[in-house]
Chains A and B, each alone.
Chain A
Amino acid sequence: MAVITMREALNQALSEEMERDGRVILMGEEVAEYQGAYKVSSGLLQKFGAKRVLDTPISESGFAGLGVGAAMQGLRPVVEFMTWSFSMVAYDQIVNNAGAIRYMSGGQYSIPIVFRGSSGAGLQVGATHSHTPENWYANVPAMTVITPAFPDDAKGLLKSAIRSNNPVCFIENEKLYGFKGEVPEGDVLTTIGQARICREGSQVTLIANSASTHVALASAEQLAADGISAEVVDLRTIKPLDIPTILASVVKTSRVVIVEENKPFAGWGAQVAYEIQHRAFDSLDAPIERVTGLDVPQPYARVLEQAVMPSAERVTEAAKKTLG
Chain B
Amino acid sequence: MASSGAKKVRSKEKPGNSPAMLPTLTPSERVDLLRKMVLIRRFEQKAAQAFMQAKIRGFCHLYIGQEAVAVGSISTLHPTDAVITAYRDHGHALARGMSSRECMAELFGKITGCSRGKGGSMHFFSKEKHFHGGHGIVGGQTPLAAGIAFAQKYNGTGEVTVCYLGDGAVNQGAFHEALNLAALWKLPVIYVIENNEYSMGTHQSRSSAGYPLVKRADGYDMAGITANGNDVDDVREKMWDAVQLARTESLPSLVEIKTYRYRGHSMSDPGNYRTKEEIAERKKESEPISMFKERLYKEKVLTEKEYEEIERQAVAEAEDAIAFAEASAEPEVATVFEDIHAPEDQIAEFRPPIGS
Interface residues as binary, B41-74 with A (CB distance below 8 Å gives 1, 0 otherwise) = 0000000000000000000000000000000000
Q: How far is the CA of A62 from the CA of B150 in the complex (A)?
A: 12
- The answer, yes or no, to whether B296 is at the interface (CB within 8 Å) is no
Interface of B is mostly: loop
Using Cβ atoms and an 8 Å threshold, which residues of chain B touch A75?
150-151, 154
Asked, given contacts A96-B140, A106-B115, whether A69 binds B148 with beta carbons under 8 Å apart, the answer is yes
- The answer, yes or no, to whether B133 is at the interface (CB within 8 Å) is yes
Using Cβ atoms and an 8 Å threshold, which residues of chain B touch A192?
347, 350
Using Cβ atoms and an 8 Å threshold, which residues of chain B touch A62?
143, 146, 174, 177-178, 180-181
Stretch at the interface among A41-49, A128-136, A160-168: A160-168
- The answer to whether A92 touches B338 (Cβ under 8 A) is no
Contact residues of A between 147 and 194, Cβ < 8 Å to B: 160, 163-166, 189, 191-194
Which one of B125, B150, B181 contacts A105 once the chains associate, using CB atoms below 8 Å?
Answer: B125
- The answer, yes or no, to whether B293 is at the interface (CB within 8 Å) is no
Q: How far is the CA of A191 from the CA of B150 in the complex (A)?
A: 31
- The answer to whether A73 touches B177 (Cβ under 8 A) is no
- The answer to whether B346 touches A72 (Cβ under 8 A) is no
Asked, given contacts A61-B173, A191-B350, whether A106 binds B117 with beta carbons under 8 Å apart, the answer is yes
Asked, given contacts A69-B151, A105-B123, whether A163 binds B346 with beta carbons under 8 Å apart, the answer is yes
Give the B interface residue count (CB, 8 A): 54
Q: How far is the CA of A64 from the CA of B173 in the complex (A)?
A: 13
Which one of A107, A160, A163 contacts B338 once the chains associate, using CB atoms below 8 Å?
Answer: A107
Return B328 CB to nearest CB of chain A, in Å: 14
Return B225 CB to nearest CB of chain A, in Å: 22
- The answer to whether B132 touches A66 (Cβ under 8 A) is no
- The answer, yes or no, to whether A319 is at the interface (CB within 8 Å) is no
Q: How far is the CA of A297 from the CA of B82 in the complex (A)?
A: 44
Return B349 CB to nearest CB of chain A, in Å: 9
Stretch at the interface among A28-36, A51-59, A117-125: A51-59
Most buried by A among B119, B177, B339, B340: B177
Return A55 CB to nearest CB of chain B, in Å: 10
- The answer to whether B113 touches A59 (Cβ under 8 A) is no
Return A81 CB to nearest CB of chain B, in Å: 14
Asked, given contacts A105-B133, A165-B342, A165-B344, whether A57 binds B184 with beta carbons under 8 Å apart, the answer is yes
- The answer, yes or no, to whether A88 is at the interface (CB within 8 Å) is no
- The answer, yes or no, to whether A104 is at the interface (CB within 8 Å) is yes
Chain A residue, CB-CB nearest to B341: A166
- The answer, yes or no, to whether B343 is at the interface (CB within 8 Å) is yes
- The answer, yes or no, to whether A63 is at the interface (CB within 8 Å) is yes
- The answer to whether B147 touches A71 (Cβ under 8 A) is yes
- The answer to whether B181 touches A59 (Cβ under 8 A) is yes
- The answer to whether B341 touches A61 (Cβ under 8 A) is no
Using Cβ atoms and an 8 Å threshold, which residues of chain B touch A61?
143, 173-174, 177
Interface residues as binary, A217-260 with B (CB distance below 8 Å gives 1, 0 otherwise) = 00000000000000000000000100100000000000000000
Q: How far is the CA of A54 from the CA of B146 in the complex (A)?
A: 14
- The answer, yes or no, to whether A208 is at the interface (CB within 8 Å) is no
Asked, given contacts A62-B177, A92-B174, A105-B127, whether A164 binds B347 with beta carbons under 8 Å apart, the answer is yes
Using Cβ atoms and an 8 Å threshold, which residues of chain B touch A54?
185
- The answer, yes or no, to whether B145 is at the interface (CB within 8 Å) is yes
Q: How far is the CA of A311 from the CA of B137 in the complex (A)?
A: 41
Return A278 CB to nearest CB of chain B, in Å: 13
- The answer to whether A104 touches B151 (Cβ under 8 A) is no
Contact residues of B between 185 and 204, Cβ < 8 Å to A: 185
Chain B residue, CB-CB nearest to A193: B350
Using Cβ atoms and an 8 Å threshold, which residues of chain A touch B82?
73
Q: How far is the CA of A110 from the CA of B346 in the complex (A)?
A: 13
- The answer to whether B339 touches A68 (Cβ under 8 A) is no
Return B93 CB to nearest CB of chain A, in Å: 12
Using Cβ atoms and an 8 Å threshold, which residues of chain A touch B344?
163-166
Interface residues as binary, B123-159 with A (CB distance below 8 Å gives 1, 0 otherwise) = 1011100001111110010111111111110110000
- The answer to whether A106 touches B350 (Cβ under 8 A) is no
Of all A-B residue pairs in the complex, the 8 with the closest CB atoms, nearest first, are: A69-B147, A65-B143, A62-B177, A106-B116, A73-B151, A107-B339, A105-B125, A69-B144
Query: Which residues from chain A sit less than 8 Å from chain B, CB to CB?
Result: 25, 51, 54, 56-57, 59, 61-75, 77, 89, 92-93, 96-97, 101-112, 141-142, 160, 163-166, 189, 191-194, 240, 243
21 contacts across the A-B interface (CB closer than 8 A): A59-B181, A61-B177, A62-B174, A65-B140, A65-B142, A65-B174, A65-B177, A66-B146, A68-B147, A69-B132, A69-B151, A74-B151, A75-B151, A92-B140, A105-B133, A106-B114, A106-B118, A112-B342, A163-B346, A193-B350, A243-B352
